[in-house]
Amino acid sequence: MQESGEMYLETILVLGKKKNTVRSIDVAEEMGFSKASVSRAVAKLKQDAYIIVDSEGHIALTEKGHQLASSIYERHIVLTRMLVDLGVNDEVAAEDACKMEHVISEESFRAIKEHIRTKHSLDV
């Protein structure tokens, strides 16, 4: 999947945690994209079975979509935490993590995650 698709799935996941229903307009507002762009992306995500859209336009992640979105979101959280731990400003850390989460290898991510888990004695 392309980075843009991953960003849409992550946004749908995060919006779904904040509110009961997610619609294309919510995604457009959150991401700062046009309704037309979001419409095309939603159609593609639906076609690829990452989301379902009901007759009222409510978007829900499928199991496949939820797994991918959760994975990307976890990367975002862990990478942001790592950068903040290194002294990076919260806002810059979140922006940089958003870029890194789509390109980092699984091996590197696991190592970072384990390092943070050990350092903080946390389950991340």
pLDDT at 102: 86
Residue 16: which residues within 8 A CB-CB, separation 6 or more?
A: 22, 60, 61
Write the pLDDT tens digit of every residue in 43-66. Answer: 999 999 999 999 999 999 999 999
pLDDT at 122: 53
* Separation CA 2–CA 102 (nearest Å): 9
Q: Where are the domains of the chain?
A: 3-64, 68-120
CATH number corresponding to 3-64: 1.10.10.10
pLDDT at 117: 82
Q: Work out the percent of the chain whose per-residue pLDDT is above 90.
A: 81
Evaluate if residue 84 carries a pLDDT over 90. Answer: yes
- Asked if domains 3-64 and 68-120 share a fold, the reply is no
The separation between CA 7 and the C-alpha centre of its own chain, rounded to angstroms, equals 5
CATH number corresponding to 68-120: 1.10.60.10
